[in-house]
Structure 1
């Protein structure tokens, strides 16, 4: 509140007390006066920030604790990410071992295994093996079959052929 506002309110401040009488301005005439004024000002400012060093030390300690906690959290996050990555590799590793076992067990050709057994998930790999084996057994059942292959047809002549031979050969 300014002096002008205080005068409008009947000379009272907001808390109900009357403002102190302003000191009349006295010009600084000597270096001692200036030093005294600066010393008073420094003293007032020091009073405002008397616990500054203590607060600064506490703030530094808080920063250290936050950094320590943050690094612990980051370490935990890193461990969790590493564990998740390892867990994600497990189905692929299992599928590789299952693939090797099934190729040996069912005597699947290496080229067929490389071409058809591509799954990294064990369940899908088993489906691929079942389908590959089913195709092989289906091919064996209905493979390339020529019904009369290897048999000599009977030399039975038709009636028309016999007639033509008799007519032209005369035998």
Structure 2
């Protein structure tokens, strides 16, 4: 046994992480094997206990469990719909991924739709338009006397 303790101190000072092989009749090996067996038995007993608890539940308890499970699933439906809607709206409106991640945070479909409408509306305001409403419209109605004089002078009439 003093050999094993010398090996342990030797590996600890060298900083190596090698496991030490102990003989099969060592008390630590025996204790480990006994603990593994007891853990296996406890797992089997726990499974049996769960089965017995489920079998002993009354119909009303089983129904209450099913209702609770159904309610929790129903509560998660709007967030699932919002996730799918978010993906669809980002593709539909061509929203950049960074903007979608930053601004489209709602888990409620109605609120998400409002966020998208506002984001798309704001991006329309920021774009500069090159549209000039009166470009190309040259109207001669109401021309001044000076214009008509200049036009007549250069036309050669």
Please give the range of the TM-score, normalised by the shorter of the 2 chains.
Answer: 0.3 to 0.5
Q: Given the two structures, how large is their TM-score scaled by the length of structure 1?
A: 0.42
> Greater Rg, structure 1 or structure 2?
1
